Amino acid sequence: MNKFWPTFNLTYMQKVKSKSFIIMTAIFMIFIFALSNVDKIIDLFDNSSKTVAIQTDNDMIYNVLEKQYKQSDDIKKVEKVSLEKGKKGVKDKKYKRLIQVNVKGEKVDGTIYEKGSVSESEKMRLQSTLSQMQSSLTAQKLNLSEDDLKTLNTPSDVKTEEIKSSDEKQTSDINPKVQALNTAVVYIIIFLSFFIAINYANQIGSEIATEKTTRVIEMIITSVKPSIHVSAKILAIIAVAFTQIFFIILAIVISIFAFDLKGLFESAGVEYGPETTRIIIYGAVYLILGVISYISLAAILGALTSRIEDLAQSMMPVTFVSLGAFYIAIFSISNPDTMLVKVTSFIPLLSPMVMLLRTTSETTPEWHLILGIVISVITSIVLLVFAAKTYRGSVLTYEKGIIKNLKNALNITK
């Protein structure tokens, strides 16, 4: 072990002090801080007015619209103006928009004036409000009471009940806002898993292949056992990956305690719940196991590469497997209960990303998630051990082709 630490420390310090590591870690942290303050950043660059002008001769309609718009997050003030003043204010960017409402008998019509195009959501919101007012005016003419009008406008109730098997969770109604945040968290962790795994897998593969093809390893193994040398290399790269993950988590923790995320969540229409904490914990575990698995596999492929020019081709299995897991998870994020997701969530190397997706589903039994962790742990251990063995047997073999080198490595290690 006294020869393990010098190799470990040298590799670790070289990677941590490299410009690429510092720049990428800084970019991740800045992105997290920016995302935590996206509402403030938007307000900083948003020069549009926060005032809505309303033109109507009906005081009841004005009061209703004033109350509605004051509850909106992007509106700070409501003014009652004439049509000419309102149009001029919109043109001069004094008003965000002008709402004109005309009442002819029981008919209520509205017009929205804006500097740019009017969004469909804004049109639907005004239409819904004016339709309710029109119904009230019609009810007054027909001498209908408020209770009669309420009964006419009350929609029918449609309930849903999901029948589940005995091994599935029995909870059903998850707050849609919490579910939206859970999905976003899973999406971010899957993206991080893919990026970090590919990045450090390529680094360890290049590190080992370069030593082998430049014949530097022939001098190294005269003083250090190949298995100890490659183990130190692999664990050093894993430690570098964990260091970057630590800084990312640190940025998230700082954002939670230093910035007001409650307002951001409200403006985004999401909400933090107990399930979110559970998903974050599973996400951290699967992220770590995925990184270890892909780095170990890349170390094996790097050791079996005879020429540095063939490294890209040798790393294709890592690229294809990681892309497969990434695309299955991303394209199934809105429906994590498909048969494809269920089957691939138990396949080694695919499990860390795909099983994480299943944490957002209520129908996923807890033991499935735990089994996914067990599969990933076993896969990581097997790959680490196999990496040490194949490196010891392939370190001095220079035949072309991964298959030939693998056969030679296995024959030598017997």
3 state SS of 348: coil
CB 289 within 8 Å of CB 380: yes
Model-wide pTM > 0.85: no
Sheet holding 97-104, edge to edge: 77-80, 51-55, 97-104, 107-114
pLDDT for position 321: 94
10-28 pLDDT, tens digit per residue, is 889 999 999 999 999 999 9
CB 110 within 8 A of CB 134: no
What are the CA-CA distances from residue 399 to residues 227, 300, 411 (Å)? 20, 16, 14
Of 386 and 137, the structure prediction assigns the larger pLDDT to: 386
Residue 409 has pLDDT above 70, yes or no: no
- DSSP element (H, E) containing 101: strand 97-104
113 sits in which H/E element = strand 107-114
C-alpha–C-alpha distance, residues 10 and 4, integer Å:
10
Three-class secondary structure of residue 79 per DSSP: strand
Query: Tens of pLDDT along 389-405?
Result: 777 766 656 566 666 66
The whole-angstrom separation of Cα 72 and Cα 50 is 10
With cut-offs at 50, 70 and 90, classify the pLDDT of residue 65.
confident
- Please report the DSSP string for 357-369 in residue order: HGGG-TTS-HHHH
pLDDT at 26: 95
Per-residue pLDDT tens over the stretch 305-357: 777 777 888 889 899 999 999 999 999 998 898 999 999 999 999 999 999 99
Query: Which residue is listed with tokens 């509605």?
Result: 68
